[in-house]
Structure 1
Amino acid sequence: MEGETRMMMNTKKEKRRIVVAVDESEESMYALSWCLSNLFSTNSDNTLALLYVKPPPPVYSTIDAAGYMFSSDVIAAMEKYGSDLVDSVMERALAVCRKSSYNINVERVVGSGDAKDVICSTVKKLKAETLVMGSHGYGFFKRALLGSVSNYCAKNVKCPVVIVKKDK
């Protein structure tokens, strides 16, 4: 077969791991939906890590600042509320994922601590290709007072960061 050129199609699927930071906000669910629509393809072995960061657990004392005693029932109720919140957010995120037409492996990842530190360390640990986050759209002064988790992550992770802003 001299002079004939054969083209080989690369049928090997590209492996893709994307971390999406989710929380109770509409902005994070919008970012997840945007990610599914824009960053996944049929030629990918898609892995999506849904990352929820719980605030660090408070240090409980049996006596609060006003001198009242906390019962173990109150502490257990507060911990159950935190677990229920995680389940609720993850269920909402999974519902968004189910609407996608792509075959996606979804991992639920729950961390505890300062959001910016947990997000950065999780992205590194999972060797993510991309980090996707929603933007709350805070103005200059609010961002200066509260800090910006997305800004911190964009400066400190080694992979590309996509910050998705929801139209108002």
Structure 2
Amino acid sequence: MEEEKMIQSAGAGEGRKIVVAVDESEESMQALSWCFTNLVSENSTNTPTTVYLLYVKPPVPLYSSIDAAGYLFSGDIVGKMENYSKELAHSVMNRAESVYGNFNIAAANNIKLEKKVGMGDAKEMICFAVEKLEADVLVMGSHDYGFFKRALLGSVSDYCAKHVKCPVVVVKRPNH
């Protein structure tokens, strides 16, 4: 599958490199839309721009062959979990491509779209990808969790803002 590429260094090519972290949430698609509206379509200098869609799959949990109740844990279940993870990544990338398609900006503004999929802890993989791809900016959505949820779950956007070396744009959920 095309999006199953491992994250590799992009090299020292010319042009802007924008990483947009996408997931199954509406907030990430809003961040992608914001990116195309505010960062890419205003590309008046016609600088070649590569927009990387980055999706991070959660790691597949490791199980012993016998579960807590003493039943043999089938390899089919692990395989189904892996298939679900691949299907989810494919679905997220399709949604992101449809957002991109709504802007019709690729040919006019010298825009290239690339899909990258990683696996692991989202905040660590996003930081790793931004460094390896030598991104100029990271764009991500905010789930806008309250204080307690953020304290328990942690904030991926907060972590990335503190650990990446490029500017980070966190697109908040619009108030409706």
Query: 2:19: which partner in 1?
Result: 19
The gaps in structure 1 that reach 5 residues or longer are 1-13
The gaps in structure 2 that reach 5 residues or longer are 1-13
Q: Classify the secondary structure of the residue corresponding to 2:83.
A: helix
Query: 2:39: which partner in 1?
Result: 39
- Percentage of pairs with the same residue: 63
Higher strand share: 1
Query: 1:78: which partner in 2?
Result: 81
Give me the CA root mean square deviation. Answer: 1.2
| Larger-gyration structure (1/2) | 1
Q: After TM superposition, give the deviation of residue 89 of structure 1 in Å.
A: 0.4
* Greater RCO, 1 or 2 (C-alpha within 8 Å, sep 6+): 2
TM-score, normalised to structure 2, is 0.84
Deviations 1:106-138 (A, max 9, x none): 111111111111000100000000000000011
Q: Classify the secondary structure of the residue corresponding to 1:44.
A: coil
Query: 2:146: which partner in 1?
Result: 139
Correspondent of 1:154 among 145, 161, 172: 161
**Number of residue equivalences:** 155
Residue identity matched to 2:167? P
Residues 30-109 of structure 1: pairs in structure 2 closer than 5 A: 30-40=30-40, 41-42=43-44, 43-103=46-106, 104-109=111-116
Q: Which runs of 4+ in 1 moved over 6 A?
A: none
Residue identity matched to 1:23? D
